[in-house]
A = this chain, B = another copy of it.
Amino acid sequence: MSDATYDVLGVGNAIVDIIAQADEAFLEKHGMPKGGMALIDEAQAHAIYADMGAAIEASGGSAGNTIAGVASYGGKAAFIGKVKQDTFGEIFKHDLTSLGVTFATPAATDGPATARCLVLVTSDAQRTMNTHLGACVNLTPDDIDADLVAASAITYLEGYLFDPPAAKEAFRKASTIARGAGRKVALTLSDSFCVHRYKDEFKALIDQHVDILFANDDEIEALYGNRDIAAAANDLASKIDVVAITLGSQGSLIASGEGRYEIPASPIDELVDTTGAGDLYAAGVLYGLSRHLPFAECGRLGSIAASEVIQHYGARPQVALAELA
């Protein structure tokens, strides 16, 4: 992959997070399944925002977070995603490009506002997400820059892209171009609720289009109906290049044709907000894979990035990951 201009290209929903603390009663009152990501419309977004506590705003989006992490490790990174020309769109773009990420997808000039995710963090540091997709519904196959995909060693796609219908087509276009150019396609299953929505499509995708898969134990269970993680890892490793399964505080498992690696979690001082843990784990692993580092080292970089992001509010690193590692 040494001829690639970019180490990793991310394609995902371009979202700004609005993050507040909440108690269990708040989640119950609003019927929010704890730990999940629910899609909400504009009216719901206003109602929840009006009822939630004082917040901070920070760029988010699953693949966006991962790409920020890759750049923070010193990787050459690019992103494709749809914002609107508005305040949150400007913030989202600034927070990627200021890290050196190439982000040239044209912002929408009309239609819904830039996507926002209302993130409620409970005292156990668990996050419950409510996403108003807004401008993300306007990401179409036309936004997939074929030259950019072909110039990227790895194209990383988030499962959440299956929610906006046109984005799903953009997803398929990107993976087809990447495969055709001899590049690698990576996928994150994103969320167990998302897996339930698109189970059969995800299974077919993994069999036919994916080289590198990221998932957590809940998503594996949602996909295969049981929690035998080791068996699932072995099965997947016989079909695709690499599978990386996160196990929360237990660390992660990386499996490939070469073998299986148990990766410990990095130690932390204080667990604050788990938002972005999986995204930043993927950042470390993808950076390592793009630089052909050994699997154990890829996993270590993933664990370091995840441990940084869960010790503060917000899903983007607050320190340069290259210095942490």
Contact = CB atoms under 8 A, between A and B. Distances in A.
A94 B56 contact: no
Contact of A316 (B54, B57, B86, B88): B54
Nearest to A50: B94
Given A52-B98, A98-B52, A91 B316 contact: no
A126 B94 CA distance: 23
A57 B54 contact: no
Given A87-B86, A88-B87, A312-B312, A55 B95 contact: yes
B56 A68 contact: no
Contacts of A54: 59, 68, 94-96, 98-99, 316
A55 B86 contact: no
Interface size class of A (residues with CB under 8 A): 20 to 34
A49 interface: yes
Contacts of A20: 98
Given A87-B86, A87-B87, A56 B57 contact: yes
Interface string A300-317: 000000000000111010
Given A86-B87, A87-B86, A56 B58 contact: yes
Interface in A131-164: none
Nearest to A91: B57
Q: Which of A53, A54, A55 has the most CB of B within 10 A?
A: A54
B56 A314 contact: yes
A58 B56 CA distance: 5
Contacts of A313: 312, 318
Contacts of A57: 56-58, 91
A21 interface: yes
Interface string A75-101: 000000000001110010011101100
Interface in A46-71: 49-50, 52-59, 68
Nearest to A87: B87
Nearest to A57: B57
21 contacts: A49-B94, A50-B94, A52-B98, A53-B99, A54-B59, A54-B68, A54-B94, A54-B95, A55-B94, A55-B95, A55-B98, A56-B56, A56-B57, A56-B58, A56-B314, A57-B57, A57-B58, A57-B91, A86-B87, A87-B88, A312-B312
> What 3 A-B pairs have minimum CB-CB distances, sorted nearest first?
A57-B57, A87-B87, A54-B95
